[in-house]
């Protein structure tokens, strides 16, 4: 089994010493602006396939960057699109400097191909990888490059916002909440930090990529997370900046993306985690990274019902078999890093190989989840709330947290917070601009679960929300009684 997995690493071009990833890339047709920077500060690598609908917003965010086009190499790498992507980009090449269009002669089957073409042709001191349907804050590239200039690190992250049909939320909370850091050891990063590691909101020093032969592996999923985790391992320290720089487009994140989460998706992710596990030494960083990713796969392939791999006992057994095949050698228990009881319980069933028990637990929990979320049903034991129990013998599952208002007078709001997690504070956010407007609230701890917060004069509870924050970066909105 070990030899078979090693062969997969070769087939999918994981090995950093193997140059197959370079020799198998397709040729391309190159067009570029009349003026280009010979030694740009930042190379922007954009992988595109049929993203015509989003290209104007993405390109407008680049040509207006405060760093200046003379400091950029904007590399639009088209993976043989069948829509009018190239026609949309052509006017930008004609009217702006520093834009290069690489039209690949063959489709590579994923973002890894265009990104690797970008690596081989980039000239900038720094690299960023921008998906063609995402966009930047106009100060993003100046901000990120100055962070690396000041710190000397090879890897920088910043605030990342997810936009879904106009509603925004944070995609990777540690990038934003932890504040500013430089020369921060990757061994000190919280487990939640590893919950993302996509290309968004990250800038790398190009020499780090070249000297360590980094590239994107030849598979449709997990190529980016593998790449950026390897980059972190070689960088050893990172720089963080709390400014919001990057917007992740999830307008289409509905049925289409859910259905793409299929069996091949599962295998690709487990292969990537297996490579990381076998390649890097056991330490805190690897443990936290693997734990967060295993938890994510449990969520998708054990607990979710509406994905492209039909829910059944057979799916659960297959997931368990593949988990053992690829990650049977891990030497730690990942479940203490999991974010809720539901996922921890699923892991317990998996470790006991009790697939029938897991199947029954998931079916019954679906009912309990609906009863809680739709009807507000819950049970309480002492100071802990649980999902509805339904009947004896069913494993108890705690609510992550529950918070409710108790009374309000003279600017003082009393509220109760119940959670097995450590509460770290309260804040107010406007509904329209939740992160630009967030303000911490002064509070008093009246008893173990009772708090009093001080609200500003004229506080508007229609336009604003009171948020309870917890140590693991989770949060809940206050409920009214």
248 and 263 assigned to the same domain: no
Backbone φ, ψ for residue 223 (5° rounding): -70, -40
Backbone φ, ψ for residue 406 (5° rounding): -110, -50
Tell me the CA distances in angstroms from 150 to 40, 42, 117, 146, 238, one per residue in order: 18, 15, 29, 6, 12
pLDDT over 90 percentage in the chain = 78
Position 160 scores a pLDDT of: 93
349 and 436 assigned to the same domain: no
**71 token code pair:** 């400091």
* Residue 185 binned pLDDT confidence (cut-offs 50, 70, 90): very high
Residue 174 CA to residue 240 CA, distance in Å, equals 9
133 and 188 assigned to the same domain: yes
Is pLDDT above 80 for 89?
yes
Position 252 scores a pLDDT of: 61
Q: Is residue 393 part of a domain?
A: no
CATH number at residue 457: 2.60.40
Run of H or E residues at 429 = strand 423-430
CB 105: neighbour CB atoms within 10 A? 9
CB 14: neighbour CB atoms within 10 A? 25
Q: Estimate to the nearest angstrom the gap between the alpha carbon of 302 and the chain centroid.
A: 20
All residues at 6 or more sequence positions from 379 whose CB lies less than 8 Å from its CB, including other chains: 385, 386, 387, 388, 389
Position 254 scores a pLDDT of: 41
Backbone φ, ψ for residue 102 (5° rounding): -110, 105
Helix, strand, coil percent values for the chain (each to nearest 5):
40, 25, 35
**Which stretches does DSSP call E strand in 165-265?**
167-170, 181-185, 202-205, 237-249
Position 463 scores a pLDDT of: 86
Q: Which residue has the higher pLDDT, 77 or 177?
A: 77
104 and 211 assigned to the same domain: yes
The region that residue 166 occupies, defined by phi over 0 for left and psi between -120 and 50 for alpha, beta otherwise, is left
Residue 339 CA to residue 295 CA, distance in Å, equals 8
Which of 286, 301, 295 shows the shortest CA–CA distance to 362?
301
**448 token code pair:** 């173990």
What one-character DSSP code corresponds to residue 415?
A: E
Residue 87 CA to residue 358 CA, distance in Å, equals 51
Q: Is residue 90 part of a domain?
A: yes
100 and 243 assigned to the same domain: yes
Residue 189 CA to residue 173 CA, distance in Å, equals 12
Position 30 scores a pLDDT of: 98
334 and 222 assigned to the same domain: no
467 and 343 assigned to the same domain: no
Q: Is residue 74 part of a domain?
A: yes
422-431 as b/e, with b when 16 or more CB fall inside 10 Å? Answer: ebeebbbbee
Count of structural domains within the chain: 3
Strand pairing class (401-409; 423-430)? unpaired
184 and 289 assigned to the same domain: no
* Residue 481 binned pLDDT confidence (cut-offs 50, 70, 90): low
Is pLDDT above 80 for 211?
yes
- The predicted-structure confidence for 107-119, as pLDDT tens digits, reads as follows 999 999 999 999 9
Cα-Cα-Cα-Cα dihedral of 23, 123, 76, 70, to 10°? Answer: -170
* Residue 244 binned pLDDT confidence (cut-offs 50, 70, 90): very high
**387 token code pair:** 């999902």
Which of 131, 149, 129, 133 shows the shortest CA–CA distance to 67?
149
Residue 89 CA to residue 84 CA, distance in Å, equals 9
Position 255 scores a pLDDT of: 42
Backbone φ, ψ for residue 397 (5° rounding): -130, 115
Q: Is residue 435 part of a domain?
A: yes
323 and 436 assigned to the same domain: no
Q: Is residue 145 part of a domain?
A: yes
168 and 299 assigned to the same domain: no
Instruction: Give the residue numbers spanning the domain of 192.
Output: 2-252
- Pick the range with the lowest mean pLDDT from 39-53, 164-178, 399-413: 164-178
Is pLDDT above 60 for 408?
yes
Position 433 scores a pLDDT of: 81
The predicted model gives 50-58 an average pLDDT of: 96
The predicted model gives 423-439 an average pLDDT of: 86
264 and 367 assigned to the same domain: yes
- The predicted-structure confidence for 373-398, as pLDDT tens digits, reads as follows 888 889 888 888 899 888 777 888 99
Tell me the CA distances in angstroms from 207 to 158, 230, 336, 469, one per residue in order: 20, 14, 37, 39
Position 381 scores a pLDDT of: 86
Is pLDDT above 80 for 44?
yes
Q: Is residue 391 part of a domain?
A: no
Q: Is residue 412 part of a domain?
A: yes
Q: Which of 313, 345, 379 is the last residue of a domain?
A: 379
Q: Which of 189, 223, 252 is the last residue of a domain?
A: 252
Is pLDDT above 90 for 337?
yes
- Pick the range with the lowest mean pLDDT from 237-251, 342-356, 430-444: 430-444
Q: Which residue has the higher pLDDT, 481 or 5?
A: 5
235 and 318 assigned to the same domain: no
Is pLDDT above 50 for 460?
yes
**By CB neighbour count within 10 A (0-12 exposed, 13-18 middle, 19+ buried), where does 336 fall?**
exposed
Position 411 scores a pLDDT of: 87
**The overall pTM is greater than 0.85:** yes
CB 169: neighbour CB atoms within 10 A? 13
Position 169 scores a pLDDT of: 82
* Residue 436 binned pLDDT confidence (cut-offs 50, 70, 90): confident
Position 347 scores a pLDDT of: 97
The predicted model gives 135-163 an average pLDDT of: 96
Q: Which residue has the higher pLDDT, 165 or 153?
A: 153
For residues 197 and 272, the answer to whether their CB atoms sit within 8 Å is no
Q: Which of 237, 252, 267 is the last residue of a domain?
A: 252
CATH number at residue 232: 3.90.550.10
* Residue 276 binned pLDDT confidence (cut-offs 50, 70, 90): very high
Is pLDDT above 90 for 80?
yes
313-332 as b/e, with b when 16 or more CB fall inside 10 Å? Answer: eebbebbbebbebbbeebee
CB 226: neighbour CB atoms within 10 A? 27
Q: Is residue 392 part of a domain?
A: no
User: Quick one: three-class SS letters along 282-320?
Assistant: CCHHHHHHHHHHHHHHHHHHHHCCCCCCCCCHHHHHHHH
């Amino acid at each position: 089994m070990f030899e078979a997995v090693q062969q997969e690493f070769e087939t999918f071009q994981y090995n950093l010493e193997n140059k197959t990833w370079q020799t198998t890339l397709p040729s391309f047709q190159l067009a570029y602006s009349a003026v280009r920077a010979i030694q740009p500060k930042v190379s922007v690598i954009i992988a595109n396939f049929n993203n015509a609908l989003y290209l104007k917003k993405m390109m407008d965010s680049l040509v207006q960057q405060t760093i200046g086009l003379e400091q950029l190499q904007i590399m639009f790498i088209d993976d043989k699109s069948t829509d009018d992507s190239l026609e949309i980009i052509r006017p930008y090449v004609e009217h702006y400097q520093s834009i290069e269009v690489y039209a690949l002669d063959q489709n590579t089957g994923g973002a890894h191909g265009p990104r690797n073409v970008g690596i081989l042709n980039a000239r900038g001191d720094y690299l960023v990888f921008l998906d063609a349907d995402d966009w930047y804050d106009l100060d993003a590239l100046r901000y990120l490059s100055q962070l690396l200039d000041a710190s000397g690190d090879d890897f920088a992250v910043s605030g990342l916002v997810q936009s879904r049909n106009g509603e925004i939320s944070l995609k990777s909370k540690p990038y934003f909440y932890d504040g500013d850091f430089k020369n921060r050891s990757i061994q000190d990063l919280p487990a939640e930090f590893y919950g993302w590691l996509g290309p968004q909101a990250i800038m790398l020093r190009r020499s780090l990529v070249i000297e360590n032969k980094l590239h994107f592996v030849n598979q449709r999923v997990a190529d980016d997370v593998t790449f950026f985790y390897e980059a972190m391992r070689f960088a050893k320290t990172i720089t963080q900046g709390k400014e919001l720089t990057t917007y992740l487009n999830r307008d289409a994140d509905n049925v289409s993306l859910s259905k793409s989460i299929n069996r091949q998706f599962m295998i690709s992710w487990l292969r990537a985690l297996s490579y990381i596990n076998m390649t890097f030494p056991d330490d805190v960083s690897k443990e936290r990274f693997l734990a967060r990713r295993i938890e994510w796969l449990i969520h998708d392939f054990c607990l979710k019902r509406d994905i492209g791999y039909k829910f059944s006992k057979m799916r659960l057994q297959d997931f368990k078999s593949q988990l053992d095949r690829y990650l049977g050698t891990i030497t730690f228990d990942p479940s203490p890093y999991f974010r809720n009881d539901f996922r921890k319980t699923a892991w317990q069933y998996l470790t006991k190989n009790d697939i029938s028990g897991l199947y029954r637990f998931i079916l019954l929990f679906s009912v309990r989840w609906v009863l809680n979320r739709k009807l507000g049903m819950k049970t309480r034991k002492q100071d802990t709330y649980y999902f509805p129990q339904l009947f004896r013998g069913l494993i108890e599952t705690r609510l992550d947290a529950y918070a409710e208002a108790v009374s309000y007078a003279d600017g003082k709001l009393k509220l109760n917070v119940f959670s097995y997690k450590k509460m770290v504070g309260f804040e107010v956010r406007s509904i329209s601009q939740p992160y630009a407007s967030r303000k911490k609230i002064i509070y008093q701890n009246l008893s173990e679960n009772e708090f009093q917060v001080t609200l500003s004069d004229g506080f508007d509870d229609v336009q604003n929300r009171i948020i309870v924050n917890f140590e693991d970066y989770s949060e809940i909105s206050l409920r009214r009684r």
